[in-house]
Amino acid sequence: MVGLFAQKVLPANRYLLPLLWVGQVGLVLLLALFNPNHFTTIDSGYYLASAQYLLDGQGHVYEEGGRLVWNGIFPLGYPLCIAIVAFLTQLPVLWASKLVNVLASAGLLLIVQRKWGVNKALLMGALLLLGPFVKLWAHTWSEPLFLTLLFFWVYYFFSDDRSIIIVLALGLALMLVRYAGLFIVPLSAGMALYWYLTHQRQRGLQAAALSLLWALGFSGYLWLNYQQSGDWYGGDRISGSEPTGQVLLLFGKGLFNELFLLRDATFESSDALFWLGAVIQVLLVWLMVKEVAKQKSPIPRDASSPVHYYWLTAGAYLLFLFVLRLISPFDPPGYRLLSPFTFLLIWGCMVSVAPYLSVGKAKWLALALLLASWLHLLPQADVVGKLSKALGL
């Protein structure tokens, strides 16, 4: 919704889109610079280690027990991109990883502008400035690159005049960046059946062929893992199951936080910032709903990026993640794991709601929501203490 500020108010000139990107880059680098560990996690260590060893010509490996071991924990795509950027820029792999992330957003903005025009690109630029996505981009994680690839995969896969080669390549790239990219296989198989049953035989057969090729490609990569390390995907990840009710509760908490863009609830202790953010967001959304209700003749919706395809893909990803969580007890779903769902969902909402809002109120409502979303950038615990330490106070 914050993209309404960009689409409805800000002038569509050649300077604004770069400014939005520079704003995102500035926030990402500031967060990474002032954070004590530069927004790295245990997972980041595997990405960076593999990137450094790739840069040194030793392969997609990391050190364990004094020896180099094939990195089957995470696929090759993201460490390889970090290594390439580090080689070209001579940056340390840590900062090369941040550059990979912001280059992904630059590519996203440029291609959206080329395919759908500057207004859609400004919407995307505003989406990337939302607090949760700025925070996601600041981490050394593969999600920013994955989201960029996924956005274009949706467009090309559902396009009437799609290029099979491009769709195939995007799908393989998704699975090389994150194993979760596998979710496109059942999605494309389901769409193949739907198109075939609705007398779209050619589209159905193409989707069936693509799902088979992606499944073969993914299986081939798992076989490579097994040949190199003796494990299919970096160890035993299917080590037990949890009751369905418990998994539903975990997803309920995660989706609750995804609905509130301004701040995550810890569910363990009271957080005044969360309740402040919730009140602000509810108020702003209520005002937007009032504006929508007033409009009797909205601007015709642009069919160049049908929102239902993005919502369908978001729902398919969420279902895949839920089923996977039933058999593999990975981390509880938070803004990182749920980011593909949220990213596509919010994009669809922005495109859908924009035509209904008046220029004047859209400007202030959207700008207020955008700025308020930066509450998400504050530390989750001990806000005052951590900020004081970061600022040297």
DSSP states of 36-73 as a string? TT-S--HHHHHHHHHHHHHHTTS-SEEEETTEEEE--S
355-384 exposure pattern, b = at least 16 Cβ within 10 A, e = fewer:
bbbeeebbbebbbbbbebbbbbeeeeeeee
Q: What does the alpha-carbon distance between residue 340 and residue 343 come to, in Å, rounded to a whole number?
A: 5
Q: What does the alpha-carbon distance between residue 46 and residue 59 come to, in Å, rounded to a whole number?
A: 13
Can you give the pLDDT at residue 8?
A: 46
Can you give the pLDDT at residue 238?
A: 62
CB 71 within 8 A of CB 79: yes
Q: How many CB atoms lie within 10 A of CB 46?
A: 18
Can you give the pLDDT at residue 237?
A: 62
Can you give the pLDDT at residue 90?
A: 96
Q: What does the alpha-carbon distance between residue 169 and residue 124 come to, in Å, rounded to a whole number?
A: 23
The residue type found at 131 is G
DSSP states of 74-89 as a string? S-SHHHHHHHHHHHHH
Can you give the pLDDT at residue 9?
A: 42
Can you give the pLDDT at residue 332?
A: 80
CB 260 within 8 A of CB 278: yes
Q: What does the alpha-carbon distance between residue 256 and residue 238 come to, in Å, rounded to a whole number?
A: 27
The residue type found at 3 is G
Q: What does the alpha-carbon distance between residue 237 and residue 232 come to, in Å, rounded to a whole number?
A: 10
Q: What is the dihedral of CA 360, 362, 364, 366, to 10 degrees?
A: -160
* Domain residue limits, the chain: 3-390
Can you give the pLDDT at residue 66?
A: 86
DSSP 239: -
CB 4 within 8 A of CB 366: yes
The rounded average pLDDT for each run of 10 residues, N- to C-terminus, in the chain (393 residues) is 45 75 95 92 96 96 92 96 97 97 96 88 91 95 97 93 92 96 97 93 94 97 92 69 84 88 75 81 81 62 72 96 85 89 92 67 73 78 54 53
Q: What does the alpha-carbon distance between residue 106 and residue 24 come to, in Å, rounded to a whole number?
A: 10
The helix or strand, by DSSP H or E, that contains position 102, with its residue range, turns out to be helix 93-116
Q: What does the alpha-carbon distance between residue 39 and residue 33 come to, in Å, rounded to a whole number?
A: 9
Can you give the pLDDT at residue 306?
A: 78
Check the CA dihedral 357-363-364-367 and report its sign.
positive
